[in-house]
Amino acid sequence: MKKNFILIFALLLAVFVANSQRNVTTISGQRIIIMPDGSWIPSNDHFEADASSSGEITFQAYLSSIMKSNVLEMIQAAENKEINTFLDLVNLQKESDRNKLQISLAKKQNNKEKVKLLEQETIEIENKYKIANEQYKQYALYVAKAKNLRFVTEKDFLPQIKELSELLHVKLKEESPSENNLPGTRTINGQQKIQIKVNDIDLTCHVKNNNVISGIKTIEMVPQPLFKYTPVKLKNYFKEKELIVASVSILSENKSKKLRISLKLISKDASKNYGYIPIDGLLRILFISGKKIDLYGLRNARGETELYTGNIVYTADYSLSDDDANALSDIPLDNIGMMWSSGFETYTIYNVDVIMNQLSCLKKLLN
């Protein structure tokens, strides 16, 4: 009886701790306060250690105002990702501690079935914790690299900021407006809208990015809808919305192509079940002709919380060979299968010619 009371007291104590605010410092030195609802705010005693005595952030003299702005955005993005992965660790640790207490209580009650179930859940949580911890360390390293951009030599600056911008998915501001003399080109809100003809059909190209940075020509199409998906067993729960909404865009860097799929999940619980999209993870594309091609992920894609909406967003990049691009240019899609860390899932495509059109636009821009 006494032992059961101690276990119940420990559970109540865990609930109390979970509902109190905490002051923490991340690996990179960020000081934040974690609120009872899981959100966070900067700590009052947080200061910018790299600032001068006047309170201004210091930079190398050769950096222009645009490049300084790019560096600050890179630092902010890396810091946000570090904090978000740290919060993931906090939540996973809470789940693990709670499960271990429940296991102890179930053992006292001789509930073997519950003990087995909780132990399996705990193993899964601990595996997720290990993965999240590696990601947390990686983002802390990115914070350090982003801050160091202010002090690197002029020769090293552009290669390093470009590499980091790709890792953090941050678009670099252009040093000067890009020149594009294609007829029918209009620029709206920083995006280009271009009219072209493909097989006597008028096609509107939506270009998100078309410029040259550090001698590398980069073209990125505006993401467009690809598919929506809700598992059958969750249809009653998500009556007016879809669990997953996916968009696709084609990118080219010095004519080397990538296919980018962005997935928005409207449920944090669902994102935990899906896990992440692993590096070298398979993307199997099936065409209406029955032909299929296999693409593979270029890096791990982990869910990030979207500001204001709370949706979880994944951005997965896949290498695209010339043969794959030719196939995608000629034949409409039927479905795609995507490998998650939790398993393989297939989705029906409703915008069957979106990739065909984007590749046609890209070809026009490259010629």
pLDDT on residue 192: 62
Same domain, 126 and 205: no
Asked if residue 24 has pLDDT above 90, the reply is: no
Same domain, 225 and 329: yes
Same domain, 219 and 345: yes
Percent of the chain with pLDDT over 90: 24
CA distance 270 to 59: 43
pLDDT on residue 203: 64
Residue at a domain's end among 168, 194, 218: 168
Task: Give domain status of residue 39, yes or no.
Answer: yes
Task: Give domain status of residue 177, yes or no.
Answer: no
Q: Which two tokens stand for residue 162?
A: 């470009």
Q: Which two tokens stand for residue 288?
A: 């209406």
Instruction: Find which of 22-36, 166-180, 331-345 is predicted with most confidence, using mean pLDDT.
Output: 331-345
Same domain, 140 and 250: no
Any residues with CB less than 8 A from the CB of 262 and at least 6 apart, and which? 223, 246, 247, 248, 249, 313, 314, 315, 316
Count other C-beta atoms under 10 Å from residue 19's C-beta: 10
Asked if residue 49 has pLDDT above 50, the reply is: no
Query: pLDDT band at 281, cuts 50/70/90?
Result: very high
Q: What is the mean pLDDT of residues 61-79?
A: 87
Asked if residue 284 has pLDDT above 90, the reply is: yes
Task: Give domain status of residue 242, yes or no.
Answer: yes
Any residues with CB less than 8 A from the CB of 344 and at least 6 apart, and which? 282, 337, 338
Instruction: Specify the pairing of strand 224-229 against strand 292-296.
Output: unpaired
Same domain, 161 and 209: no
Q: State pTM to two decimals.
A: 0.52
CA distance 197 to 199: 6
Asked if residue 53 has pLDDT above 60, the reply is: no
Mean predicted lDDT score pLDDT of the chain: 81
Structurally, the chain folds into a number of domains equal to 2
Q: Which two tokens stand for residue 282?
A: 């398979």
Same domain, 296 and 337: yes
**Residue 161 structural domain:** 2-168
Distances (CA, A) of 68 to 33, 64, 99, 168, 327: 28, 6, 47, 17, 42
CA distance 118 to 100: 8
Query: pLDDT band at 224, cuts 50/70/90?
Result: very high
Asked if residue 211 has pLDDT above 60, the reply is: yes
Residue at a domain's end among 134, 168, 202: 168
DSSP string, 88-106: HHHHHHHHHHHHHHHHHHH
Residue at a domain's end among 126, 142, 168: 168
Task: Give domain status of residue 178, yes or no.
Answer: no
CA distance 178 to 187: 11
DSSP string, 182-196: -TTEEEETTEEEEEE
Same domain, 120 and 236: no
Distances (CA, A) of 228 to 225, 263, 311: 8, 9, 15
Q: Which of 156, 94, 92 is nearest to 125 (CA)?
A: 92
Same domain, 216 and 317: yes
Query: pLDDT band at 175, cuts 50/70/90?
Result: low
Same domain, 155 and 199: no
Task: Give domain status of residue 215, yes or no.
Answer: yes
Tell me the helices (H) and strands (E) count for the chain, helix number first.
Answer: 7, 16
Task: Give domain status of residue 317, yes or no.
Answer: yes
Which CATH number characterizes residue 344's domain?
Answer: 2.60.40
Burial of 263 (0-12, 13-18, 19+ CB in 10 A): buried
Same domain, 98 and 164: yes
Same domain, 65 and 193: no
Asked if residue 5 has pLDDT above 60, the reply is: no
Query: pLDDT band at 46, cuts 50/70/90?
Result: very low
Task: Give domain status of residue 197, yes or no.
Answer: yes
Task: Give domain status of residue 223, yes or no.
Answer: yes
Q: What backbone torsions phi and psi does residue 101 show, to the nearest 5 degrees?
A: -65, -40
Pseudo-torsion of CA 64, 65, 67, 68, nearest 10°? Answer: 120
pLDDT on residue 271: 79
Q: What backbone torsions phi and psi does residue 134 show, to the nearest 5 degrees?
A: -65, -40
Percent of the chain with pLDDT over 70: 81
More confident site: 57 or 111: 111
**Are the CB atoms for 331 and 270 separated by under 8 Å?**
no
Same domain, 210 and 297: yes
Render pLDDT for 127-148 as a digit per residue (tens, 0 to 9): 889 988 888 888 888 888 898 8
Burial of 217 (0-12, 13-18, 19+ CB in 10 A): middle
- Check residue 337 and give left, alpha or beta (phi > 0: left; psi -120 to 50: alpha): beta
Q: What is the mean pLDDT of residues 14-26?
A: 66
Q: What burial letters (b/e) apply to 299-322, b meaning 16+ CB within 10 Å?
A: ebbbbbbeeeeebbbbbbbbebee
Q: Which two tokens stand for residue 4?
A: 């059961």
